[in-house]
């Protein structure tokens, strides 16, 4: 009789637990969904042969992991390698950086825009948005410093170089909250490279973020050789030499100026360093200025006094 009462008590307890479990399941959407998935068996997934319960339990976790991986990929810094040569090789090269800030709100919204250009007020109140590029050693973007103080590397500006092969610059960087691991802000970078020389016209070009080509480890950009065009003042002696050679050609061929073939004029100009007609015209224009006219009058007399060897 005592055993029967025990059995009855156990049975009642089991029923009570089952009843409570049933009430919990029907009143809890998540629990009910898991129960339905368990009864569905291996009929889920793309091929309809995967465990429904496994997919139900692991699905949110896998989705979270995929989201984390995407965030890590988005936050990964991007660097580029610049390679170019230029002449004359004693020209001065300056590299200016243009910085764009991506706000936390823009980052969360996954904005594709460059961001807001970072500028500073200059001495006369004008915004300055291009700054000599300075690399910072020990300040790795997206990572927390391990007690090492960042050290500024001298800027690559105002230094004569023959080439700038494999010059390493940032294209995209992020700052991360060391406590939460969340990206607090991001930066996109573009660059202006300026070549200058006292005897040549300056030349510059702009490197946009979209100009880079993806590569292993870093992106790359290859530019054609940069050749500076001489200033007109630099070409005065070459102009005298050109006019002397043209004078002798006309004298030997017994030709007036308007009868000289254009191909001959072009060849003589090129041989004397006038890479474009524009450069020749700019140089010739100096001859009529007050500063250079007396000098040219003397040179012209010397040219016309030539004997010109046969």
Residue pLDDT, tens place only, 172-228: 988 877 777 778 888 999 999 888 999 999 999 899 998 888 766 678 887 788 889
Q: Is the pLDDT of residue 72 over 50?
A: yes
Buried b / exposed e along 4-28 (16+ C-beta atoms within 10 A): eeeeeeeeeeeeeeeeeeeeebeee
- Portion of the chain with pLDDT greater than 90, in percent: 30
Mean pLDDT value of segment 269-277:
92
Structure tokens at 302: 């010397």
Instruction: Identify the pLDDT of residue 16.
Output: 47
Structure tokens at 102: 């991506």
Show the beta-strand stretches assigned E in the chain: 78-83, 86-87, 92-102, 116-117, 120-121, 127-128, 131-132, 136-137, 151-152, 157-160, 167-176, 183-197, 200-207, 219-222, 226-227
What's the pLDDT score for residue 6? Answer: 57
> What is the average per-residue pLDDT within 292-297?
93
Instruction: Assess whether pLDDT exceeds 60 at residue 259.
Output: yes
The arithmetic mean of pLDDT across residues 60-79, rounded, is 71
Residue 57 has pLDDT above 60, yes or no: no
More confident residue, 125 or 37: 125
pLDDT band at 148 (very low <50, low <70, confident <90, very high): very low
Work out the average pLDDT over 126-142: 67
What distance in Å separates the CA atoms of residue 309 and residue 247, rounded to the nearest whole number?
A: 12
**32 vs 53, 248, 281, CA distance in Å?**
11, 104, 88
For range 271-290, the mean pLDDT? 92
pLDDT of residue 51 exceeding 70: no
Residue 121: other Cβ atoms inside 10 A:
9
Rounded average pLDDT over 81-96:
83
What are the residue ranges spanned by the domains of the chain? 2-75, 78-227, 232-304
Say how far apart CA 268 and CA 5 lie, in whole Å. Answer: 123
Average pLDDT score over the chain: 76
Per DSSP, 260 falls in state: S
Residue 167 in this model has a pLDDT that exceeds 90: no
Question: What pLDDT is stored for residue 243 in this prediction?
Answer: 93
- What DSSP letter does each residue of 15-66 carry, written as one string? HHHHHHHHHHHHH-HHHHHHHHHHHH-S-BTTTT-B-HHHHHHHHHHHHHHH
pLDDT at 62: 59
């Amino acid at each position: 009789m005592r055993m029967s009462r025990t059995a009855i008590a156990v049975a009642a307890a089991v029923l009570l637990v089952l009843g409570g479990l049933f009430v919990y399941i029907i009143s809890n959407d998540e629990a009910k969904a898991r129960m339905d998935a368990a009864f569905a068996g291996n009929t889920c997934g793309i091929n309809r042969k995967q465990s429904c319960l496994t997919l139900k339990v692991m699905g949110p976790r896998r989705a979270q992991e995929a989201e984390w991986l995407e965030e890590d990929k988005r936050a990964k810094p991007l660097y580029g390698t610049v390679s170019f040569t230029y002449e004359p090789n004693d020209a001065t090269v300056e590299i200016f950086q243009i910085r764009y800030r991506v706000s936390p709100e823009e980052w969360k919204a996954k904005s594709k825009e460059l961001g807001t250009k970072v500028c500073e007020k200059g001495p006369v109140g004008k915004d300055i948005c291009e700054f000599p590029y300075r690399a910072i050693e020990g300040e790795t973007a997206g990572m927390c410093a391990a007690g090492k103080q960042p050290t500024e590397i001298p800027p690559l500006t105002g230094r004569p170089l023959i080439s700038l092969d494999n010059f390493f610059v940032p294209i995209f960087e992020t700052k991360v909250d060391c406590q939460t691991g969340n990206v607090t802000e991001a930066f996109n970078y573009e660059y202006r490279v300026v070549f200058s020389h006292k005897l040549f016209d300056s030349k510059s070009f702009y490197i946009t973020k979209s100009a880079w080509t993806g590569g292993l480890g870093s992106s790359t950009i290859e530019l054609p050789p940069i050749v500076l065009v001489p200033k007109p003042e630099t070409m005065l002696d070459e102009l005298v030499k050109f006019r002397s050679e043209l004078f002798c050609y006309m004298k030997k061929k017994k030709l007036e100026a308007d009868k000289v073939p254009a191909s001959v004029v072009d060849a003589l100009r090129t041989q004397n360093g006038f890479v474009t007609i524009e450069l020749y015209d700019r140089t010739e224009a100096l001859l009529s200025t007050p500063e250079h006219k007396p000098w040219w009058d003397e040179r012209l007399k010397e040219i016309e006094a030539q004997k010109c060897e046969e």
